Structure 1
């Protein structure tokens, strides 16, 4: 009998997705529409934020937030060297300069101590990335930003539902962004959102999201973009958000099962979550010790692939990217980029599938 492959992740439809999409189609509102407004209201309420602004994806949510915060050419933006590159890439797109900080070797997130080393007279903003569903230690970061008069924008694309000291990731800074990509905690296929409690930032993001037009049609107040989410995509998001408690419960089950099965495996270091963090783990990731996995991370990925298990490497250290041109050394980021492997992380995984992944992973030890 052929063994079923276990994918790294994939979307699941939990309830009313099909019904709401059909309703959106029949309404004839397939671009903007009532589901977009509903998703914004419901997501803001879920995050305990005043406003949510839906966008076509998490990256465009970042872009409109950068523009709303008036990040300009020549400004320096501090981002972690280990994490998804969207925050750095958008800095480049607006003419700013991404400056890469080290990350904590256990949590894999940037810290105030790492950030402070990167501050110069040109620094304008800090963009903490809440990697894999963890949350950066935000209290000292916000204190540092206040002391140095710097902006903070949270990249919570991977951390929907995660909390820091009781507050939702993405709501601690004046603005935060999220991704609704197909693999994320809730999905609209592609899509994302920004949240804020500032009406001024909300209005500026609305402006940049829709060609720079405000109330007067075809009158452009700024050079805006089209970052809008469609009504059909928002319909999926509304149905997903109705089931957010069930989704996060299943993600927590998957995380705890992996932790139970892998926490004592020699040479496999799970990502660390502090007592301040109540995570909704997006990706189950492990840093491999070469003493136990001497063949290297990439060889382990191939071994698991041969066993029908899809995995992913960790994020590559930003200073190694060809479009960055940096000579800065980031030893922790570089180590993680070479050693981290992400295991199948879907909330639909059964206990038997997780056990198979863990057994197969342990068999890769040299």
Structure 2
């Protein structure tokens, strides 16, 4: 059996440090925010190469607070993508604004900058790109469009801890960056957790107030806020994991490179990270034309493959009121029908990778997906076309 994710293996690796950190947090009786959370905030801000980090109780809360801190509210529109977990859309709706979906790029599977300007209206206030699977969206054109139209940019970096775009870390390019520390993330807590990062002191102050009932001192509430605080035990756990995140990230990248090497003769359809990007491989996904059959075959062999995400947000019943239908986002919809995610985590052994690929090759007659319209032309047209090292 090869699980899709093995959090027990990670815990065994760092058990003495984790146990000591949790005991320290409990012994301090600082269960909400406190010194462990403050220490983590300082370290994570430095890791993201930003001035401010405020830890919260989930990645969804991080998105919600970032939108509120940016002044997004009822009557506003936020341009985002449907190829994401539903939390991205939910957070926009929590703020009272309306999500406006654009399609993704057929090469990188992240927000297609070419589709943004047509979606801008007088009500548009922000752009919310999602760094999918550990690969950052094409941020330079997104930022250029935003500045030209006076819009804010909020990065959904829930899957992209440590990812880079032209040497800049995820969360550091937009006005605000939002992270999740859900246990299965590249940097995961022992429960829920999240953070908002920014270089802007005005936005940082609003996030700090909003997460803690809007109070600047005990019982001095200057704005209406929320109880979105991170607990001390999660801060302690994340502090320990900060010592390992770079080693774990490089392990993920090495495993992805081994997948690439072993699959190269099959020419699988997978995202092509630009040479200037550092993909951190929260997910290693490829596209299969008969994906569901391949998934059943892998599961039958004891391999924990998965799908991210089989139904894009704009086609989810819960969000039907937004008015989108089948055919509105053709690239997103095709990807959702073809994605297959293979196991990837730092503790995955080389022989396990080889076993996964060997089994995948036996089901390869099920077919790697054909290029999406425009994909091949875009790949050939891009300068310095090579995979990121």
TM-score interval for Structure 1 and Structure 2 normalised by the shorter chain: over 0.9
Structure with bigger helix share is: 2
Alignment of 1:128-207 (within 5 A): 128-189=129-190, 190-207=192-209
Where does the alignment leave 5 or more consecutive residues of structure 1 unmatched? Answer: 291-295
Question: 2:324 maps to which residue?
Answer: 327
Q: CA deviation digits over 1:111-166, x for unaligned, max 9? A: 22111121111111100100001111101110100001111000111011111000
Q: CA deviation at 1:252?
A: 1.4
CA contact (8 A) 1:185 1:248 kept: yes
Count how many residue pairs are aligned between Structure 1 and Structure 2. Answer: 354
Question: 1:67 maps to which residue?
Answer: 68
In the alignment, structure 1 residue 9 sits paired with structure 2 residue 5: yes
Secondary structure of the structure 1 residue equivalent to 2:318: coil
Question: 2:275 maps to which residue?
Answer: 275
Instruction: Find the aligned partners of 1:327 and 1:192 in 2 and give their Cα distance.
Output: 29
CA contact (8 A) 1:83 1:131 kept: yes
Instruction: Find the aligned partners of 1:95 and 1:192 in 2 and give their Cα distance.
Output: 21
Instruction: Find the aligned partners of 2:291 and 2:350 in 1 and give their Cα distance.
Output: 25
Question: 1:242 maps to which residue?
Answer: 243
Instruction: Find the aligned partners of 1:324 and 1:173 in 2 and give their Cα distance.
Output: 27
Question: 2:128 maps to which residue?
Answer: 127
Secondary structure of the structure 2 residue equivalent to 1:309: coil
TM-score, structure 2 normalization: 0.88
Q: CA deviation at 1:244?
A: 1.8
Question: 1:293 maps to which residue?
Answer: none
Q: CA deviation digits over 1:322-361, x for unaligned, max 9? A: 1222235111000000000111111110000111111111
Secondary structure of the structure 1 residue equivalent to 2:223: coil
Question: 1:339 maps to which residue?
Answer: 338
Secondary structure of the structure 2 residue equivalent to 1:270: coil
Q: CA deviation at 1:61?
A: 0.7
TM-score, structure 1 normalization: 0.94
Q: CA deviation at 1:263?
A: 2.8
Which aligned runs of 4 or more in structure 1 are off by greater than 4 angstroms? none
Instruction: Find the aligned partners of 2:83 and 2:246 in 1 and give their Cα distance.
Output: 29
In structure 1, which of residues 279, 302, 312 is the aligned counterpart of residue 306 of structure 2?
A: 312
CA contact (8 A) 1:157 1:177 kept: yes
Where does the alignment leave 5 or more consecutive residues of structure 2 unmatched? Answer: 366-389
Instruction: Find the aligned partners of 2:187 and 2:114 in 1 and give their Cα distance.
Output: 33
Question: 1:349 maps to which residue?
Answer: 348
- C-alpha root-mean-square deviation of aligned residues, in Å? 1.3
